[in-house]
Every structure is written in structure tokens, then in C-alpha cells.
Amino acid sequence: MPLIDVTRLCGRQLAGRLPTGVDRVSLEYVRHFRRRAQALVRYGGRWVMLGAVDSARVFAALLEPGADFRRDIRWSVGKGYALSWRRPAERVLLNTGHSGLERPDYAARIARCHLQALFFLHDLIPITHPEYSRPGEGERHERRLHTMLSAGSAIIVNSRSTQRTLESFTSARGFRLPRCEVVPLAPMRLPLPARERPLEARYFVILGTIEPRKNHWMLLHLWRQLADQLGPAAPRLVLIGQRGWECEQVTDLLERCESLRGLVIEEPKCSDTQLATWLHHAQALLFPSFVEGYGMPLPEALTAGVPVIASDLAVFRESAAEIPDYLDPLDGAGWKAVVLDYAKPDSQRRRAQLERMIGFQAPTWQSHFAAVDGLIEHIGGSD
């Protein structure tokens, strides 16, 4: 019976934060293991292992938050903190969200409790591209990796690109790399989209937190040019995602640029049904990121039958081969040309991608967890 560290999920849920891509992966792990796992929450300097009943209550509150989900989480964790002083038995610990790994006592606690730790590493972006991360995040992420490498029985990564970067990191610093498995992620489970279009005008979608590495700034300047060139006839741009850190330039354009009003639509709190609908009726998903560890929206769009215009990144070609149209993320003129082409009702370029998309098969959660279950059995965590 594995332990799942759900500290990050509980904290974000209680704070009313919408799930990020990392959170959605962690939730899939909860969904898969919920009937044969126990929840671990780090609270007040202690590791609180919840019993079977309270674990089930917390898992349910995380997966399907009801009216009382905050009470259920607080009650279960508080009860565990007050009444349970059990030390985790020898078993597998799953940490899928990087949470707490920057703390020096995390590795020590794993050793003291004789746990076999299985970590999910999403990316090394704060180390390889610190300019796209919060100040100090690179150092914190190095400490997380030190914990993974020193205390981990195995590490799961989402792509060969992430694996190669991790191997370079360990080689450069002289670390031993534990068993490392590439297990691609499946697209998010989206409900059926509404049949009616959310907009009569043609539009494009960009999906993800508004932050520097996602390159929203370039697209907004592109749309400013389209507004000057085409006026109300310009296609629309829909930004789906919350505002993140250091996005002031994007915020200024969204809030103060008059020519973008009515042409750029911001959807910071989008339900899964709304997301599915926006995506389904879009001309294309735009994905102009400077760097990604995996890029979940890309296979999500292709699975939904929606074309993708993306940055020419190795990790994107790994998951989508030659299906999308790829561009340099700094090639504003190139992006403008492709957007204008895709906006045409008879776009041959868009039709060609739809034909390339035929037969595309994204990874499934079934195949993902078959690999994870095998890895758990290998490191000695099966009951």
C-alpha cells in the first residue's frame, strides 16, 4: 500500500487555487491509487499519515470537491495530527509534485522511516532557464533534485527530453542517477464540448498560466498588428489560464491597449466543459513557449482534433512528431503569416495538418500507470 504525499494538493485546494498542469498529474495519481493507498500530509513539522477512512475522505475531496471539501480536508488532517503518532511503515512513498523536496529533512525522514521513494520530475526549467523562473527558484530546484537523487529509489520523467537534461545535470555535478523511467503523460480527461460555438468569429486559443516563458507577450503584439491591419475582421485570441508571476507587460497590454479590446479574450477561470468547448471550435491551439518539460496542451489539442501551431522544441516533436506547424518562438512575422493562413475558411495549410493528424494516438493513463505499477513492484513496494 503506497503512501501519496498530497501536501501540495491539499494546500492549493484549501487556498482556492485552480489546478496547474503539475496538480492535474498528481490528481491522476490520486485517482489511480485511491483505493489502495494512504495519504501523507506534512503539517506543523510532522509527517501525518492518515488512516484508511480519512485517506479516502481526503482523496474524494481532492478529486471531486463538494460543498464541504475544506472541512473534510481540515478535519481529516487535524484528526491525524492529533491522534496518530504512527511512523510510516516500510513502503513506497510517491511524491509527484516536487512539494517539500527543497527541505533538507525530507531525505532524512525517508531514510529514518525506511521508505522507498518514487519521485516524478516534471522538468529542470528553473535550473536550465532561471530567467523564466522566480528569483531563487533555481537554487530551490537544485535542492529538490538533490533530494530526488540522494533519497530516491526511482525517478519518473515525462519525456526523453527531460531525461536527457537530468542526465546532463547529474553528470556535470557528479551525482549518481537512480533508476529513471520515461513515462509519457496522457491528455487531461475533458468532457464533451458544447455543440454551439462560444464565438461567432474565428479564434485561436493559448492555454496555460500567463508567465514569461509561455510567450504571451509576442502573441499580444501580433494581435495588435492584426487589429491595425484588419480591425474588427481580425480573428480573436482567447487566453485560457491564470495570471502568474512577472507578467506585468502582458497585463499592461490586456488592461490598457485599446486596440486589443474585443479581439483578445481572457478566461482565467475556465471550467473543464468551457475549456473543451473553446478548444474544440478553435482554428488552432497556439503554443509559442520558449521552453517546456512536456507541454500537455499539445497532445490534448491533437486528441481533440484541433490543429497546433507550436514553437520548434525537441520535446514537442517527441510527443507530436511532424503533425503541428513549428516556428521559432521569436519569429513574430512567421507566426503572423501562419495565423492569417489558418484564419481563412479554406486554409490549405490547416487542412494539411488535419490530414497529418489522422491516426494520432496520445499516451493513455492506462499505459502510464501500467509502467508506474511495474516500477513500484520493482522497487519493492507491492503488497
So where are the chain's domains? 3-187+365-378, 203-356
Location of C-alpha cell 468547448: 277
Q: 328, exposed or middle or buried, with CB in 10 Å at 0-12, 13-18, 19+?
A: exposed
Query: What does the pLDDT look like over 17-65, one tens digit per residue?
Result: 888 889 999 999 999 999 999 999 998 888 988 988 999 999 999 998 8
What percent of the chain stands above pLDDT 90?
80
Mean pLDDT of 132-157: 96
Is-same-fold flag (3-187+365-378; 203-356)? yes
Least confident of 68-82, 109-123, 235-249: 68-82
The CATH homologous superfamily to which domain 203-356 belongs is Glycogen Phosphorylase B; (3.40.50.2000)
Over the range 261-290, which residues count as b (16 or more CB within 10 Å of their CB) and which as e? eebbbbbeebeeebbbbbbbbbbbbbbbbb
Location of C-alpha cell 533519497: 151
pLDDT-derived band at 86, boundaries 50, 70, 90: low
Query: What does the pLDDT look like over 173-218, one tens digit per residue?
Result: 999 999 999 999 999 888 999 999 999 999 999 999 999 999 999 9
The CA distance from 292 to 326, in Å, is 14
> pTM for the whole thing?
0.92
Residues 6+ apart with CB under 8 A from 172: none
Query: What does the pLDDT look like over 286-298, one tens digit per residue?
Result: 999 999 999 999 9
**Residue 382 pLDDT:** 45
**Residue 87 pLDDT:** 60
Answer yes or no: is pLDDT of 172 > 60. yes
| Cell numbers linked to 22 | 503539475
Answer yes or no: is pLDDT of 90 > 80. no
Query: What does the pLDDT look like over 208-217, one tens digit per residue?
Result: 999 999 999 9
Answer yes or no: is pLDDT of 381 > 60. no
Length of the chain in terms of residues written: 383
Which one of 1.10.10, 3.40.50, 3.90.350, 3.30.450 gives the CATH number of domain 3-187+365-378?
A: 3.40.50
Answer yes or no: is pLDDT of 103 > 60. yes
Answer yes or no: is pLDDT of 299 > 90. yes
Answer yes or no: is pLDDT of 154 > 60. yes
**Residue 43 pLDDT:** 87
Most confident by average pLDDT, 4-18, 71-85, 135-149: 135-149
Answer yes or no: is pLDDT of 383 > 60. no
**Residue 140 pLDDT:** 97
pLDDT, averaged across the chain:
93
Q: Which residue has the higher pLDDT, 90 or 126?
A: 126
**Residue 84 pLDDT:** 62
Q: Where are the beta strands (DSSP E) in 122-210?
A: 152-157, 179-182, 203-207
